[in-house]
Structure 1
Amino acid sequence: MSAPLPSPSTLAPRAYGPVNWLGLWTLYVKEVQRFLKVITQTVLAPMVTTLLFFAVFALALGGAVRHVAGLPFVDFLAPGLIMMATTQNAFANTSSSIMISKVQGNIVDVLMPPISPGELLVAYALAGVTRGLLVALAVALAIWPFAAIHLHDAAAALYFVLAGSLILSLIGILAGLWSQKFDHMAAVTNFVVTPLAFLSGTFYSVQQLPPFWYAAAHANPFFFMIDGFRYGLTGHTDGDVLLGGSVLGLVALGLWVACYLLLKRGYRLRP
């Protein structure tokens, strides 16, 4: 004879402690598995696209511009392309996840469990960083046979690739929360993320720019990401590495606070 079921009045709520680690980890794993199931689209496709950029610029300019800032052009180009692919895919991961969940109406599956806004933020942001780092590794391995990729300062390279991935993951969360249809998301990608990435010294040294555009480049956070990462791999920098690292840290902190407050409010997540 089976034991009687406890009455609802005797059931105590489950205690999760200050942090629901199980919920946070489950959401993180779900987000990682989401992009790994379509790895051809989320990791391999960016690798091929970046290789095409590398081939076009190396073939078109490599003969005429053999050296940039004392480096072989392909060695100068490689870190910028790696960072550009990393940041764009970190942004795409968080923005697409939130946007698709809103459009399909299953965002409620994330909002109903006992997961706090901070835990939601950590899980989404870390998943975006994970995709960014996987893309960085894939692109670096693909470019390695054609450019000298080595570590001049491993700590700097790691810091800037993590900071860049985190910042774009957080921007992706903001874009996903703000966007109500795919046209909105496309606008953020086409008019904000892509121009800032291309106008950041990815393909050229900002030292060659006129004074106005040189100053404008230093107002672009993408410049500090790429310049710092290039320093970590090659030792060359067009700016101040410590200043760039500090700026990126402050930008990440500001974006983190903004994302947390909007998630706490349920901005465009709740009817």
Structure 2
Amino acid sequence: MTDYPHRDPGERRFGQVNWLGLYTLCSREVMRFVNVWTQTLLAPLVTAGLFLMIFTIAIGPRRGDVMGVPFTDFIAPGILMMTVIQNAFANTSSSIVVSKVQGNIVDTLMPPLAPFELVLGYLAGGVARGLIVAVAISAGLFVTTGLVPQHPLILLVFVILGAAFLSAMGMLAGLWANKFDQMAAITNFIVTPLAFLSGTFYSVEALPPGLYEITHVNPVFYLIDGARYGMIGVSDSTPGFGFVIALVATAAVLLAAWGLFRTGWRLKA
């Protein structure tokens, strides 16, 4: 078993959890974004509000209903989920990359934390940020549009899955990137297109055949579609099927992150 040099390979098992260390890492990751809440929590709320306002003013009056609901109500859940996944990704990826660039990643690796504890610690921060952003946007939607989730539990499940999936992707990106420009490239050319081209602002039924099939391979589509069903009760796909796809995709990416932490990929000098 390959592990960090100072650990006894037989010392850590999934049945033995360093609860104090895990709690400390979780707390650190949460406090990272809470301490700069105007940048990490308030800014996404403003950005989501601007998206909703601009699309409503520019397209809403001419667009009419989409799948039987007003255009503003249709795009609101997509904007919510898009903001959640972008912030979840940013939380884990920036935490790892900043530590690597500043040279203090060793402060995270030296304590007796097993790879799965590192994954859970970073995951907690990303999911917490995603959930807070989702609650803030939902409250804003209620105040401005009167929109209330029709299936709040389903919405919550997909928000958590979305935050977990992109948090895990953020870990992979953070482990791979050694510079901020590498991280920016991943955000601009992978995360942003995934969010924008997954039915955030439109129904995928309007897509031509090729793009329609490609969209249904993208797990982010099912996250946005599931959130839309939870918020307004309509969706392009079956929520149950979308849940299975999102759950499998999240588990696969988390497993990959655990494997990379276990080997110390791009972390060891």
Shorter-chain TM-score bucket reads over 0.9
Unaligned runs of at least 5 residues, structure 2: 1-14
Matched-pair contact (CA < 8 Å) for 1:66–1:73: yes
Partner residue, 2:201? 203
Whole-Å Cα distance in 2 between the matches of residues 149 and 193 of structure 1? 27
Whole-Å Cα distance in 2 between the matches of residues 153 and 138 of structure 1? 18
Moved segments of 4+, more than 6 Å:
none
Identity of aligned residues (%): 51
Partner residue, 1:215? 213
AA in 2 matched with 1:243? F
AA in 2 matched with 1:71? V
Matched-pair contact (CA < 8 Å) for 1:75–1:148: no
Unaligned runs of at least 5 residues, structure 1: 1-16
The Cα of 1:209 is off from its aligned counterpart by 1.4
Whole-Å Cα distance in 2 between the matches of residues 56 and 114 of structure 1? 49
AA in 2 matched with 1:140? S
* Structure 1 residues 172-183: aligned runs within 5 Å: 172-183=170-181
* 2:234 corresponds to 1:236: yes
Partner residue, 1:28? 26
Q: How many residues align?
A: 256
AA in 1 matched with 2:219? P
* 2:132 corresponds to 1:134: yes
Partner residue, 1:144? 142
Q: Which has the larger radius of gyration?
A: 1
AA in 2 matched with 1:236? V
Whole-Å Cα distance in 2 between the matches of residues 142 and 163 of structure 1? 22
The Cα of 1:142 is off from its aligned counterpart by 2.0
The Cα of 1:190 is off from its aligned counterpart by 0.5
Whole-Å Cα distance in 2 between the matches of residues 33 and 198 of structure 1? 29
Partner residue, 1:161? 159
Stretch of structure 1 that moved more, 162-171 or 233-242: 233-242
Whole-Å Cα distance in 2 between the matches of residues 208 and 146 of structure 1? 28
Partner residue, 1:103? 101
Matched-pair contact (CA < 8 Å) for 2:30–2:124: no
* 2:258 corresponds to 1:257: no
Partner residue, 1:270? 268
- TM-score for both structures, normalised by structure 2: 0.93
AA in 1 matched with 2:207? L
AA in 2 matched with 1:68? V
- TM-score for both structures, normalised by structure 1: 0.92
C-alpha RMSD over aligned residues: 1.3
Whole-Å Cα distance in 2 between the matches of residues 112 and 164 of structure 1? 30
The Cα of 1:179 is off from its aligned counterpart by 0.2
The Cα of 1:215 is off from its aligned counterpart by 1.4
Whole-Å Cα distance in 2 between the matches of residues 241 and 141 of structure 1? 23
Whole-Å Cα distance in 2 between the matches of residues 26 and 195 of structure 1? 34
Matched-pair contact (CA < 8 Å) for 2:161–2:247: yes
Q: Cα deviations across residues 76-122 of structure 1 (Å, max 9, x unaligned)?
A: 11101000000000000000000000000111111111111111110
Whole-Å Cα distance in 2 between the matches of residues 241 and 211 of structure 1? 22
Matched-pair contact (CA < 8 Å) for 1:152–1:234: yes
AA in 1 matched with 2:96? I
Whole-Å Cα distance in 2 between the matches of residues 74 and 95 of structure 1? 31
Whole-Å Cα distance in 1 between the matches of residues 262 and 96 of structure 2? 15
Whole-Å Cα distance in 1 between the matches of residues 240 and 142 of structure 2? 27
AA in 2 matched with 1:215? E
Matched-pair contact (CA < 8 Å) for 2:96–2:174: yes
Partner residue, 2:224? 226
Whole-Å Cα distance in 2 between the matches of residues 162 and 42 of structure 1? 18
Partner residue, 1:116? 114
Matched-pair contact (CA < 8 Å) for 2:29–2:124: no
Whole-Å Cα distance in 1 between the matches of residues 143 and 65 of structure 2? 18
Matched-pair contact (CA < 8 Å) for 1:132–1:165: yes
The Cα of 1:126 is off from its aligned counterpart by 1.3
Stretch of structure 1 that moved more, 17-26 or 94-103: 17-26
